[in-house]
Structure 1
Amino acid sequence: MEAKFQTFLILLGVLAGTALVARRTEIAPAILLLLVGIVLAFVPGMPSLELPPELVLLVVLPPLIYSASVAMSWREFKANLRPIILLSVGCVIFTAFMVAAATHYLIGLPWDIGFLLGAIVAPPDVVAPLAIARKLGMPRRILVVLEGEGLANDATALILYRFALAAITTGLFSLPKATGTFLVIVAGEIAFGMAVGWLSLRARRRARDPQVEITLSLITPYLAYWIPEHFGGSGVIATVACGLYMSWNGPLLISAATRLQGIFFWDLIIYLIEGLLFLLTGFQMRSLFERSKSFPLHDILTATVLVAVIVIVARFLWVFPGTYLPRWISRGMREKDPLPSWRAVFVVAFTGVRGAVSLAAALALPLTLPSGDAFPYRDLILFVAFGVIFVTLVGLGLGLPAVVRWLGLAQDGRNEHIAEHEQEIAARREALNAALKSLDDITDDRELSDEVVKLLRSRHEIRFNQLPDALDPDRHDASATGTALTRELIASERKFIHTLLRDGKITDETRRRIERDLDLEEASLSNREYRRIPL
């Protein structure tokens, strides 16, 4: 137990160190963690760390999906539902069939094995590309489409995976029956996920305690995921529906204290889960290397390169026709949603990075068939899944910044960012005006002293005056200078409070309360800070 805990501490240290290196090199942490995991796996004396598939599919996946769903805007998800479905359902199925056909005709795999392999490597992982895309300031709609695809594509792939696995183990498969089952699973999980979200919000509202509410928020994704998964569904769709329901209905029902503490809690949880997941994925290279000795190296490389090329090409073959053909055919769709730039379509097609879910699905394959025979091609599927993850994550992930710069999408993102910040300034101003109007109404209805009214009005006027008129450079410089000076003044307050504590003039409890106010004020400065946007 002590050795395992020491290994865990080493992994945490590696995770923190890699994050610092990633920040300086501007490489996505997921890419570095995968590479570091591969290197550490072969360090003498380092214990072999297996990645249990149940850990990924039952323990890790629910909070990742739920957190991303809560962060997703339901309005933006709904507005982009057509491209999200085309990618998360259509592209996954198309890719699985392409892999099955290519591996059957070019390297002789049976159709059912090829389709199983296709279902495993079909769903892209969005952690690394989204981190890169956000850092590069890409247009908002691209981010929404990629994030929405990442929420739902695992569900499609896992359902296909179960159909293919059942066909191999039982020898029975019916396309009409499978299609009907798929639709029933989708409809049932959406309803169940929304019900779990409704129940969670009511329970958290009654709790009225941040610690209890955060605990309930941690239970919620597992409740939404495990029950459908237990009855033969994917669990992913229910978790996505639950998260989107919480995102839309939660803001007015969750207290400020719970929200502030919950943001920190979930940010830390997701940071640790994602980091350790990619690190442990790299560690699997050691066991795969040992198994590869029983396979001809040429066969492994041929299958890996073939499948990697197919999954990349298949995405391009699907994304471009899926984007333009409906608009060329339907005039109404063309008027409602004009043709997007080929540059935006290209970058969506380029971000076909595979992740740990593909490896977990491959690791979850049974060792034997019900007949007692060894599961056919199991080790080859493992090698190919890991190889596709490595090729797409490292190759496409490292190439994405260059592609974005070549396409000039960063400038589009900056222009969009400027417009978004101007809308934010206007929204803040209108909200303050609405609050002042409410103050006038309250003053008319209640007997309030002039001193109280003056104090409340002064608070809102101070906040109103802190808003910049626009995002022009001169105003930005003045705002930045004022923010920097405010931070210096807060630091002076902290030092003085610490001096009072050392001199015994205040208690530790008093110091903590004052520090909390200063922390909130400093956090508010960071939240209101408007960065200069290069033009």
Structure 2
Amino acid sequence: MLELFPFYLVLIFLIMLLVMIGNAIKVAYPVLLVVAGLLLSFIPGVPSISIEPELIFVIFLPPLLYEAAWAISWKELWHWRRIIGSFAFVVVFLSASTVALVANYMIPGFSLALGFLLGGIVSPPDAVSASAILKFVKVPRRLATILEGESLLNDASSLIIFRFALIAVATGQFVWQEAALSFGWMIAGGLGIGLLVGFVFKKVQTWLPTDVNMDIIFTLIAPYTMYILAEEVHSSGVLSVVSGGLFLSYHRHSFLPASSRLRAEHVWQSLVFLLNGLVFLLIGLDLPEITSGLREEGISFSEATWYGVLITLVLILGRILAAYGAVIVTMVVGRFAAVADRRNPGPVTPLILGWTGMRGVVSLAAALSIPLTLADGSLFPHRNLILFITFVVILLTLIVQGLTLPILIQKVKLPDFGDHLPQEETENLIRKNLVRESRAFLAESHVSNWRQNPVIQNFLSLWSGESDTGESLKITGEDKELILALLERLRQSLLEMNKSKPEIDEETIREFLLYIDLEEEKIRMA
């Protein structure tokens, strides 16, 4: 491992270089990194890289899921919970079932259990790929929320299918009663453990004196604690991290001080950037190990590639049909029950939603975690073929869909759903609320001379829209305590505004909350 350390440093430098190139040419970096890893694998003398599935599931997956749970809006997630749940669970199950039937029929010697195993592996779209691509194009907020919410949950549902299929292949039988109980425990246990660990971490950081460094370390170890504890009791580690991350994100302003929130955000941005870059580059570098196994099964490269293309087409077509089906079901159900929005989104929106089905590292890690042998010592059937098909699916969806999605979004006209107020109107509404709350606070605090106090007037100008003079004013201890208390009042006002006004986009609220944190940090350091 130590002798490969310089090589990994080169890989990190290459990741940064490719991301910069991707930003310059408007191409999502996961596409460039996978292709670069693939090309590197053909260079003589490049060290052979093998992705350990435990490394992905234990080291990489928890922080990536945790960061995604912190970034998503709980308000939007709950609003679109039905469509998100249908894509994260129903569509994943339908995709796995379709792959199972096609593989069982088209691939010689492929049993239905093996088909479900393959389906569980390749059914979840990758969140990082879609997010990286959508960064270059403007899409409606609801579409981005649905994709982000789906990505938080589909890994859990697909890995549950994978586990049950693995048991069926290994034992040759499938007991529905035991599977139902196990399925229920995986979901309930995962959610419960995540919430419990999140609650414990919140209380520890609330009751005990911590500093910024301790708070950041707590955020780093929290996802690993949630994941490992859940997996140890055979529940879903993915759901544990997601539920715990959502819980702590929702309560972040009640137990993390502003300085910890600000600095932790920078640490997490760098960490997630590095982890995402490494896993996509390693996907391409893993090709030699994957292809070498095909010869052991006596399957030609062209035949295995055809199977991979076939499964990819099944997944793409199935997701597009599912997107249109979800719209139809929502419109029909909306006549009899309350839904988030039963208006017809038009023919384009489901197509875009269906085309965002790029696969990624979770699929490859699941395939690599298939054991080499069964309990009786015999080789696991078609393991190498499953690995290769998974690689082809990842490669094709990343390149074909990843490169064409921005073009498709730019060519078609997505409807303006009007879910939120326009950005400028939202900002004006928030600023007026902040000015009103500031004056109410000053009146309640019986500050008689606040209209003549230059420090307070300079502070109020931030929210009234007036330009800041940039004048450096000396802040006394009394003024400092007053402004810090006022900032906390404004923060709580924004949080309440976010809960009570669904027409306001939480992303804009978070921008103002960040600004308040920055102001608090400046005041404390003054």
- Identify the TM-score tier after normalising by the shorter chain: 0.7 to 0.9
1:211–1:188 Cα change, 3 Å: same
Residue 220 of structure 2 corresponds to which residue in structure 1?
218
Q: Which runs of 5+ in 1 are unaligned?
A: 468-478, 491-522, 529-535
The answer to whether the 8 Å contact 1:304/1:384 transfers is yes
AA matched with 1:213:
D
Secondary structure in 2 matching 1:252: helix
Partners of 1:194 and 1:400 lie apart in 2 by: 36
Partners of 1:306 and 1:21 lie apart in 2 by: 32
The TM-score normalised by the length of structure 1 is 0.83
Q: Give the one of 212, 228, 231 matched to 1:229.
A: 231
Residue 459 of structure 1 corresponds to which residue in structure 2?
458
Query: Is 1:355 aligned with 2:355?
Result: no
The answer to whether the 8 Å contact 2:320/2:350 transfers is no
Q: CA shift at 1:153, angstroms?
A: 0.4
AA matched with 1:69:
A
User: What is the 5 A alignment of 1:326-345?
Assistant: 326-333=330-337, 337-339=341-343, 340-345=345-350
Partners of 2:77 and 2:91 lie apart in 1 by: 18
1:465–1:336 Cα change, 3 Å: closer
User: After superposition, what is the alpha-carbon deviation per residue over 1:443-501, rounded to whole angstroms, capped at 9, x for unaligned?
Assistant: 25xxx7x489613431233213436xxxxxxxxxxx8xx9xx98xx99xxxxxxxxxxx
Give the 4+ runs in structure 1 shifted more than 6 A.
415-418
Percentage identity across paired residues of the two chains? 32
Partners of 1:421 and 1:373 lie apart in 2 by: 65
Partners of 2:194 and 2:463 lie apart in 1 by: 40
Aligned length: 472
Q: Which runs of 5+ in 2 are unaligned?
A: 473-513, 520-526
User: After superposition, what is the alpha-carbon deviation per residue over 1:262-290, rounded to whole angstroms, capped at 9, x for unaligned?
Assistant: 00000000000001110111101122233
Partners of 2:249 and 2:271 lie apart in 1 by: 18
Secondary structure in 2 matching 1:136: coil
Q: CA shift at 1:330, angstroms?
A: 4.4
Q: CA shift at 1:329, angstroms?
A: 4.3
Q: CA shift at 1:73, angstroms?
A: 1.3
AA matched with 1:302:
W
Q: Bigger shift: 348-357 or 297-306?
A: 297-306
User: What is the 5 A alignment of 1:136-175?
Assistant: 136-175=137-176
Partners of 2:450 and 2:437 lie apart in 1 by: 21
Residue 512 of structure 1 corresponds to which residue in structure 2?
none
Residue 439 of structure 2 corresponds to which residue in structure 1?
436
RMSD of equivalent CA atoms: 2.5
Residue 282 of structure 1 corresponds to which residue in structure 2?
284
Partners of 2:138 and 2:350 lie apart in 1 by: 16
Q: CA shift at 1:38, angstroms?
A: 0.7
Q: Bigger shift: 329-338 or 157-166?
A: 329-338
AA matched with 2:292:
E
Partners of 2:266 and 2:455 lie apart in 1 by: 30
AA matched with 1:8:
Y
Secondary structure in 2 matching 1:207: coil
Partners of 2:182 and 2:375 lie apart in 1 by: 23
User: What is the 5 A alignment of 1:234-245?
Assistant: 234-245=236-247
Query: Is 1:318 aligned with 2:319?
Result: no
Partners of 1:452 and 1:197 lie apart in 2 by: 44
AA matched with 2:222:
T
Partners of 1:241 and 1:341 lie apart in 2 by: 33
User: After superposition, what is the alpha-carbon deviation per residue over 1:21-42, rounded to whole angstroms, capped at 9, x for unaligned?
Assistant: 0111100011101111111112
Q: Give the one of 400, 417, 422 matched to 1:419.
A: 422
Q: Bigger shift: 181-190 or 331-340?
A: 331-340
The answer to whether the 8 Å contact 1:328/1:334 transfers is no
Residue 104 of structure 2 corresponds to which residue in structure 1?
104
Partners of 2:334 and 2:23 lie apart in 1 by: 45
Partners of 1:193 and 1:421 lie apart in 2 by: 38
The answer to whether the 8 Å contact 2:18/2:29 transfers is yes
Q: Bigger shift: 180-189 or 145-154?
A: 180-189
Partners of 1:77 and 1:60 lie apart in 2 by: 24
The answer to whether the 8 Å contact 2:193/2:229 transfers is no
Q: Give the one of 405, 408, 419 matched to 1:403.
A: 408
The answer to whether the 8 Å contact 1:190/1:237 transfers is yes
1:234–1:451 Cα change, 3 Å: closer
Residue 28 of structure 1 corresponds to which residue in structure 2?
28
Residue 491 of structure 2 corresponds to which residue in structure 1?
none
Residue 55 of structure 2 corresponds to which residue in structure 1?
55
Partners of 1:403 and 1:253 lie apart in 2 by: 43
The TM-score normalised by the length of structure 2 is 0.85
User: What is the 5 A alignment of 1:243-254?
Assistant: 243-254=245-256
The answer to whether the 8 Å contact 2:195/2:244 transfers is yes
Q: CA shift at 1:48, angstroms?
A: 0.8
The answer to whether the 8 Å contact 2:125/2:358 transfers is yes
AA matched with 2:159:
L
Partners of 2:88 and 2:339 lie apart in 1 by: 25
Partners of 2:339 and 2:203 lie apart in 1 by: 42
AA matched with 1:359:
L
